[in-house]
Structure 1
């Protein structure tokens, strides 16, 4: 789903700058994870040297479409204007630029940005190999116990399917696309809503 992706914190000042950048980029969702300073992490390296960094997931599945491209161009222009690289477009409405609405206008300016925590236990993973049948959509609210999908066992046709249920209350923020799965494949990730602008505690 169209979203910004940021590491939380690591300080109040750095987090405030990240939130401002996320708001300028203006996608409907922002996925937040705990900071990670291990070698090889671009976000962690940016945090270490004090550079404000956000990344994004706009479409996924190795594809783009016209709506995604329009959102990417518009959001990038707003972000570059926010940091002073480009001028603010004449006639732009600052309140609309931070609305997080889709390109077709389906979400209004009052909807704002939904902040979601991606936790270590957010994933629902396959316990066996087979064909994944999803029962939810991206962005859908789920509660503990809700059915999120089934895995059908193609090597054992007489074996009943295996159901997978939500273990957290939240939103479906990733959904497995290729139908074929193996043991340990992530089927869905459930993001837990955060208060807007809240910073995760380490």
Structure 2
């Protein structure tokens, strides 16, 4: 196919491990190829589910959860097809960075991609033109990466309505993470994987689990259990599957314009924790002047009430850096 080469047969029965190969030019390798690991496990006529990790290279939870999934699923257990991308943007994964170094490519803003574009754009083009047309559901696992920590959450499109919205709510309950939040319409980005799924009419359930450039055993376990429950719920895997599900609180994430920002450079001292509920006007933390430690710190306060969904981990901040994002409860 123009723009990329896939060395596995997506229509073949059984398990097939291989690579999507796309052109990648860099200082290190001007005539190189970016090799994207991909696995297809197919048997029977059930649904097709795509599971993605490593969209961003510094988000390790999804990369490990997806590898654990590959290690335990056999073709005999499948009714339908599961397509797995453990390192969706491999250059970013190898570098441990959010963006791929050679093209500064953020796969989650690259859709619909380009057949003759950069490596990241070609990966997005393959996903949009080859994978999404055959998919019934996409499970895309993220975290906060190195600078951010996220409360374990499922992320849902705020653009879907009617029966598709009801299906997303049911899937989120099956996933079983303690919070499921809808993305505010202001933040709906057509160039994201979620936006590409909306355009293609494919259900998408993403996850934001942890962050900080490290992983917690509990997060990995609950993420894997959630994926397995969803796969069983849609009929791709037969029960038994992990059955213990927490009560899911549904929320709406406040838009990017409501992000609590650092008003100046400095050392940020937070005064609230991830998962706290805060009120408008409440103290979020202090910003300490680096060069004049004797100066009183500047106060940072919340302008909205809500649930602390994610927080910045890095203590050194610059003016304009996001410190907290909030979500508010909603009825579903």
TM over 0.5: yes
1:143-196, CA deviations, whole angstroms, 9 ceiling, x for partnerless residues? 11111111111023333211111111111111110101001001111211112x
2:152 is the alignment partner of 1:17:
no
1:140 matched residue in structure 2? 276
* Larger gyration radius, structure 1 or structure 2: 2
2:179 matched residue in structure 1? 29
Alignment gaps of 5+ in structure 2: 1-150
Q: Any conservation in 2 of the 1:25–1:79 contact (CA below 8 Å)?
A: yes
After superposition, residues 62-73 of structure 1 pair within 5 angstroms as 62-73=213-224
How many corresponding residue pairs? 180
For residue 54 of structure 1, give the secondary structure of its aligned residue in structure 2. Answer: strand
Alignment counterpart, residue 6 of structure 1, candidates 156, 169, 188: 156
1:119 matched residue in structure 2? 254
2:327 is the alignment partner of 1:191:
yes
After superposition, residues 155-194 of structure 1 pair within 5 angstroms as 155-194=291-330
Change (3 A) 1:49 1:12: same
Alignment gaps of 5+ in structure 1: 101-111, 198-202
- Cα distance in 1 for residues equivalent to 2:300 and 2:266: 13
Change (3 A) 1:67 1:44: same
For residue 229 of structure 2, give the secondary structure of its aligned residue in structure 1. Answer: helix
Higher relative CO (Cα under 8 Å, sequence separation at least 6) belongs to: 1
Scaled by the length of structure 1, what TM-score is found? 0.83
Q: Any conservation in 1 of the 2:181–2:253 contact (CA below 8 Å)?
A: yes
More strand by share: 2
2:232 is the alignment partner of 1:81:
yes
Backbone CA RMSD of aligned residues: 1.7
- Cα distance in 2 for residues equivalent to 1:72 and 1:139: 18
2:77 matched residue in structure 1? none
For residue 48 of structure 1, give the secondary structure of its aligned residue in structure 2. Answer: helix
Scaled by the length of structure 2, what TM-score is found? 0.51
